[in-house]
């Protein structure tokens, strides 16, 4: 749920809330399927996400619908933008049916790099936190005062009962 007093969960660094109309009731699920036929023209590419530790280079699109996450990692609408103060929140699946972009996200460790190419700029984030939350703990999307990145995926794989969160802060860019 949204953090009404703008303080975030204890120790979680929140500084406000994502506008209520953009906060999903639950964080995306690997099991979600879409009945919509695929239409590539509806995808809105915005950046490239690279995770050298697990050899990932993925297109990031605006949106986290099942259709978006089947073909790319998705930027949660209303969250921060690359390189700017705020929480750049990105979702990705980790199974072979609905996408495997974050299939090995659990192998990422503290101090590993997360790289976002956005426009003509490259932003390098350093992983500072790795933790697991319940699907309804959307406070992980809350804004922050500093430039940070939050990666969200289901865990354990193919069960999707929880969400793995990998969070980092802007190192340079």
Q: What is the pLDDT of residue 150?
A: 99
Q: What is the pLDDT of residue 143?
A: 96
Q: What mean pLDDT is predicted for residues 90-101?
A: 79
The CB density around residue 77, as the number of other CB atoms within 10 Å, is 15
Decide if 12 is inside a domain: no
Q: Is the pLDDT of residue 99 over 80?
A: no
The Cα-based distances of 155 to 5, 46, 122 in angstroms read: 29, 26, 29
Q: What is the pLDDT of residue 118?
A: 97
CA end-to-end distance (rounded Å), the chain: 31
Decide if 26 is inside a domain: no
Decide if 34 is inside a domain: no
Q: What is the pLDDT of residue 69?
A: 87
Decide if 63 is inside a domain: yes
Quick: pLDDT tens for 13-39. 444 444 444 556 566 665 555 556 666
Decide if 19 is inside a domain: no
| Full residue range of the structural domain in which residue 167 is found | 42-172
Q: What is the pLDDT of residue 97?
A: 60
Q: What is the pLDDT of residue 26?
A: 64
| Higher-confidence position of 85 and 98 | 85
Name the average pLDDT for the chain: 83
Residues 6+ apart with CB under 8 A from 166: 105, 108, 114, 127, 129, 130, 150, 151
Quick: pLDDT tens for 104-161. 999 999 999 999 999 999 999 999 999 999 999 999 999 999 999 999 999 998 788 9
Contact predicate 85/147, CB 8 Å: yes
Tokens, residue 32: 């979600």
Decide if 75 is inside a domain: yes
Decide if 139 is inside a domain: yes
Q: Exposed, middle or buried by CB within 10 Å (0-12, 13-18, 19+), for 139?
A: middle
* Structural domain count of the chain: 1
Decide if 89 is inside a domain: yes
Which alpha helices (H) appear in 31-122, and where do they start and end?
A: 66-71
Q: What CATH code is carried by the domain that includes residue 52? A: 2.40.260.10
């Amino acid at each position: 749920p949204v953090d009404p007093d703008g303080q975030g969960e204890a120790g979680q660094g929140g500084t406000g809330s994502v506008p209520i109309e953009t906060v999903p009731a639950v964080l995306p699920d690997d099991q979600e399927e879409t009945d919509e036929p695929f239409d590539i023209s509806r995808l809105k590419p915005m950046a490239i996400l690279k995770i050298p530790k697990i050899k990932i280079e993925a297109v990031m699109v605006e949106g986290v619908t099942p259709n978006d996450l089947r073909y790319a990692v998705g930027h949660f609408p209303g969250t921060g933008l690359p390189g700017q103060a705020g929480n750049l929140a990105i979702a990705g699946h980790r199974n072979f049916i609905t996408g495997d972009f974050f299939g090995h996200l659990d192998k990422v460790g503290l101090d590993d790099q997360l790289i976002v190419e956005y426009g003509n700029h490259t932003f390098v984030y350093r992983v500072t936190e790795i933790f697991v939350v319940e699907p309804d703990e959307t406070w992980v999307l809350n804004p922050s005062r500093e430039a940070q990145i939050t990666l969200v995926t289901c865990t354990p794989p193919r069960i999707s009962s929880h969400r793995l969160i990998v969070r980092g802060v802007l190192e340079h860019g």
